[in-house]
Amino acid sequence: MNSKKTVLLPKYQKVFEQLGENIKLARKRRKLTAEQVSERAGINRTTLYRIEKGDPAVAIGSYFNVFRVLNLEDDFKKLAVDDEFGRKLQDLDLL
């Protein structure tokens, strides 16, 4: 299997790093171990470690499963929900 490294500009990598940190803090606030979360999310401990470090190459489904275990699936559903730029483009077509 050939895996490609996901390349992001530093400012976008910081977004993933912040997301990973937020996930790690949410896990700790709930007093859950990394083993508990990874087991419940159906991923291995290494994958959870990568998520908590903000690795953009981890599958989005794995991120979602961690959100689900932490009862944050509603936060996950908010991603890209308010497409302000898309609505402006659409409104320009209506003029």
pTM: 0.83
The band of 39, judged by pLDDT with boundaries at 50, 70 and 90, is very high
| Start-to-end Cα distance in the chain | 50
The band of 3, judged by pLDDT with boundaries at 50, 70 and 90, is low
Report how far Cα 6 is from the mean position of its chain's Cα atoms: 14
* Residue 4 burial class via C-beta count within 10 angstroms: exposed 0-12, middle 13-18, buried 19 and up: exposed
Please tell me the predicted confidence (pLDDT) of residue 83: 85
User: pLDDT tens digits, residue range 41-77?
Assistant: 999 999 999 999 999 999 999 999 999 999 999 999 8
In the chain, the domains with their CATH numbers are: 10-94 (1.10.260.40)
Q: How far is CA 91 from CA 24, 50, 82, 86, 94, in A?
A: 40, 40, 15, 9, 5
